[in-house]
Chain A
Amino acid sequence: MSKQSRRSFLKTIGFGGAALVASTTGLSHASEQPPVNNEALGMLYDATMCVGCKACMTACKRVNGDFGSLAFEKAPFDPDGLWDAPQDLSGSTRTLIKLYKESDKEWSYIKYSCMHCQKPSCVSVCPVSAMTKDKVTGIVDYNKDTCIGCRYCQVGCSFNIPKFQWEKTLPQIVKCDLCKNTNLKEKGITACAQTCPVGAISFGKRRELLDIAHARLRDNPGRYIHHVYGEFELGGTNHLYLAAVPFHKLGLPIVPQDAPAEFSEKIQHTIYKGFVAPVALYSTLCFIALKNQKRQDSNGNGEDDK
């Protein structure tokens, strides 16, 4: 390869790449935060109030069992299946209470369910719009009739919330939908919040929940870790947490304040904006290829040395 042709070779290779480089380097500068919707519905779980009765778990399965394809999970000691003993969120379980024990004095309950992110990764990555976010309520819902079972939502969710029914012939994704299709529709409140006997789960608009949370932090400074988990995490979530034990010990990961979906969508959009780049690439390449082919045909077949 002569110097000249090597340079043009690099140019060709750079062709597709140049746009990518330009876009990715531009990214670090443009990071305006998207607006947060504080009118969205959500829940506040206060770990210091929870008594670990698991009434919410039972209520969730009772109410959402049929619609959400939930089932009882047998424990190894229980061949008759009298107990529901899920180990973790799963293809049969949308919410779960766990006990975290650091020492005999220091322990905490924790409830897991979908965080209903402000900028949900699962919605951003789902190729067939089976995960959707309601513009008004902010509820992140799943539609099994469009889902293809690619499990990209599982890869995307930083909280590992969507679960897949691995053991089923005709599986689906299982995750909390804030009772959108059941209790919320019928009674205007989520089943778990309605059932909780000690009021550890508050249900309402994000703005109200944040007010409650901050009031509690203000009134009982010694009782809590001074942080509302979910207020800023990954761009904010509608499910919020208060606790006395550091959140990451309770299985709520330490995550940045930027939503991963903002980052990935920005890159994807820069590359594919209005489909201009692919069309431009195609036409340019066509032009080059046609020219080359014409020259080649008039040269005779096969030989390029002249």
Chain B
Amino acid sequence: MAGHHDEFIKLEGKIFTRSFFVMLTLVVIGFFFIGVRYVKGIGAVSNMSDGYPWGIWIAYDVATGTAIACGGYAVAILIYIRNNWKFHPLIRSALLTSLFGYGLAGFSVVVDLGRYWNSYGFFIPSRWQINSAMFEVALCVMTYTLVLIIEFLPAVLWSLENSKGVTLRKVADWLHPRLTPDEARLASGLEWVRSSAAWLRPRLDKVLVFFIVLGITLPTMHQSSLGSLLLIAATKLHPLWHTGFLPLLFLINCIYIGYSIVILESIISSNAFKREIELNELSGLSRIIPWLTVIWLSVRVGDLAYRGQLGAAIKLDFYSCFFLLEFLLVAGGSIILFSSRMRRSPRWLFITAAMIILGGGLYRFNVYLIGFNPGQGWHYFPSIAELMITVGVIALELLGYQVLVKLFPVLPNPKHAGSGHKTADNSHHAGTHEEILPAAVHVGK
């Protein structure tokens, strides 16, 4: 592990770009409405009702958002369990996205909780209610967020170790001009931080694997439990979605979404930050996805057939349309990915990853909202304020990502030998990657 830090680089560039301010505006709007919610109650900003007690904050931010944040989980399985170290360069950016996804899902939950001040009850054993899937989800997600922070720590420590503290000193000067004479103390403080980071990093590297495995176990638990959450809604969730297989379906679902999001994110950030695409890693990842989706789709269809619901699936009513949409997006994307030529084209990688994320995400949306019918007379469509809170939270996530990749070595280092088996005359332009496939990605036996 110790030698792996040159796999990653900081992105050079200004922090305060235009997109930074666009995002910031959205964040501010979102937080304004969050303020309203805390003063005037949830009803003042949201269209949720006693029939639809969970709106998009849960259906998107928590149920779908954490699946999108499963990149770190999915890639960690690949590297540490499947022993595919060529994907290691992707891990940090995937972890960072996961950290944001989960952190902000947690944040949305606090906005959503009506009696948030009682949340400490999760730490009081006499209040534990182990029958509740939500109890399991809550504890798991909190622990996992901590684990993600620990997993990301090496990048932070590395930066502390190698920083000259210039920015920090500038900030200090600006904050408090009178501090300037005390240069010596500031410098020695910085030196202390640097040396303790240097002390900690190799030690953390040694035990990191135990946290990484915890970071694989926890999502396995809570992602399946996110499916279990709706098991109770036997009379409300449409039979196209209500099944005892919900936990299994949610688990597989988050893994293929995880791989797809890594692909999507890499392609987008390569474009946005004008970096080279990690095509070899990405097409390797994309190879796994269709196998997962095939299992998922088979369980899905097999279960419907077993429960005699195939007729309902093709009835072309409201529910069946959403089912078919979800199904076709996932199946369509997967079929394309079975072709090795498509897997070498960044454009098709992008399209298929997007299809699978949309389809997989829609599945979760269907389970949490669209397929949910509490009875006659109840309707739900999110209000503007409610949407803006979610948008603000997403903007905060993108904002944080943009800033952190410039502060810490997160993105894959294109010059690193291990990243990507690139040939010398490798062209970086989309669509022209017709060069030889990398030798089959095999596992050391």
Contacts and interface: CB of A to CB of B under 8 A. Distances in A.
Say whether A and B bind each other. yes
Interface of A: 1-2, 4-6, 8-10, 12-13, 16-17, 20-21, 24, 27, 88-90, 121, 124-130, 144-152, 154-156, 158, 160, 162-172, 234, 253, 255-256, 258, 260-261, 263-265, 267-269, 271-272, 278, 281-282, 285-286, 288-290, 292-293, 295-297, 299, 301-306
Interface stretch (B80-88, B188-196, B261-269): B80-88
Contact of A299 (B89, B291, B444): B444
Contacts of B231: 260, 263-264, 267-268
A128 B228 contact: no
Contact of A171 (B84, B114, B236): B114
B83 A149 contact: no
Contacts of B127: 128-130, 146
Interface stretch (B171-179, B208-216, B354-362): B208-216
B81 A171 contact: no
Nearest to A5: B443
A225 to B, nearest CB: 20
Contacts of B214: 282
9 contacts: A1-B288, A1-B442, A13-B255, A20-B251, A128-B128, A166-B46, A268-B136, A285-B217, A302-B418
A165 B41 contact: yes
Question: Which of A90, A278, A306 gathers most chain B CB within 10 Å?
Answer: A278
Contact of A302 (B233, B234, B419): B419
Nearest to A260: B234
Contacts of B224: 16, 20, 271
A120 to B, nearest CB: 11
B235 A289 contact: no
Contacts of B54: 151, 155
Contact of B232 (A124, A130, A163, A296): A124
B270 interface: no
Contacts of B445: 4
Contacts of B17: none
Contacts of B235: 158, 234, 253, 255-256, 260
Question: Which of B119, B121, B255, B416 gathers most chain A CB within 10 Å?
Answer: B121
B440 A2 contact: yes
Contacts of A164: 50, 53, 114
Contact of B82 (A12, A264, A303): A12
A6 B131 contact: no
B116 A149 contact: yes
Given A125-B133, A128-B127, A285-B81, 5 more contacts: A127-B122, A128-B122, A166-B42, A256-B235, A302-B4
Interface string B117-151: 01101100011111111111010000000000000
B80 A146 contact: no
